[in-house]
Amino acid sequence: MSIKQRPPLQGLKIVDLTTFLSGPSATQLLGDLGADVIKVEALTGDSSRAIAGPELDGDSAYFLANNRNKRSVAIDLKDPAGLAVIKKLIANADIVIENFRPGVTKRLGIDPEKLSIEHPALIWASISGFGQEGAQRDKPAYDMVVQALSGVMSLTGHEGAPAVRLGIPAGDVVAGLYAVIGILSALQARSTSGKGRVIDVSMLHGQLAMLSYQALYTMLKNEAPKPQGAAHDSIPTYRSFQAGDGREFVVTANTPRMWESLCQVLEVPELTTDPRFVDAPSRLANKHALWEILETQVLKRPADEWVRMLTEASVPVAPIKNVLEAIEDAREAADGSLLNIENGSTSYENVSTPIRFVETEEVPAKYPPKLGEDTISILTHELGISSLEVVDLIEKGVVGVPENSIALSRGPSLA
């Protein structure tokens, strides 16, 4: 029996100064990969803890979705004593991640450039709406703002209808993923140089990068693409269809073989020799005529039948499912895409990190921390602050602990 390797980021300590979504999604991923993530929160907590909507045990589902596998320390960052605690945390860390507006960390007294001189191996990642430099650096940004400014919203929805926000927080999550990529790259460089890096990730730039071929199409044609609906700008047989029972399914017939098989299944084999559709450029030039024929054909059967027949013909196809259906499929598959997170009698399901390592220990899913849940243990056991000093910091409102920890903090020992 082979011995499993430890989680890839085990042993790394991360100070997480982020709030809301872009940063927390990044630090959750790093925690899932084995890093020790210390979430530093204001005394009032990460603002996402109180977002309206579903909640569990006092915290919003929004917060719970992005904050597993972390420890929480509550600190007043504007208090000089709190700043001293933050600097001690950073001195013990490998990585700091923050998503303040540019310039805020310097005003708080935690300048990444100065701290990088004091701690040459430190990796510092900043996530902001528009990057640390440039004319827009000071503007506030949220997910929908960068979706709007990047052109992403103009591509989403149907022609003639108002622009539509993506149904997922792509502006936030993509920025978090790019931050993680930057951090892992900096860790690789540090393994040989011994020196850290300062990383600047812009949410807007992340969305521009996600435009992919649409950006190049636009630059080469000097023309803005229209809303994509459920179709593709270059492949007319890459789109959704509504079947006879009203249900929708998608077909991605990209190759000549798939095109021919699609025509056979839909019982229009003559299209393969029709001069209007004989090759990919012809089909693109005559896509509206082609769509009219295909749309008429798919109305003749229910969606499930088309999905079965096209699957048997090796044409990529899938029914369009809602989120509940997708989650139910994941539960039935039992393939590790969902995990159960427990905290005593409280538990909930969440989507797992989609990265799997063979012959590697799994990181147990730790329930998101209560505000200040780990303040006492981290300050005493990891920063070496005496019990009396910790009590003093709590009573002065410099650091925070859960209400049920206050009595403990006043006891004879915090050990």
Just list the catalytic residues: 232
Residue 249: closest CA among 257, 238, 260, 259? 238
**Strand, coil or helix: what is 249?**
strand
Closest-CA residue to 172 (of 22, 395, 54, 396): 22
Tokens of 238: 């890459």
Q: Is 132 exposed, middle or buried (0-12, 13-18, 19+ CB in 10 A)?
A: middle
Angle at 143 between CA 141 and CA 145, to 5 degrees: 55
Q: Which residues pair with 351 in a beta bridge?
A: 338
The answer to whether 122 and 93 have CB atoms below 8 angstroms apart is: yes
The structure tokens 């042993």 sit at 11
Locus of tokens 């020196």: 195
Q: Distance between CA atoms of 219 and 286, rounded to whole angstroms?
A: 24
In one letter, which amino acid is 361?
E
Partnered with residue 199 across adjacent β-strands are 125
**Distance between CA 131 and CA 209 in Å, rounded?**
14
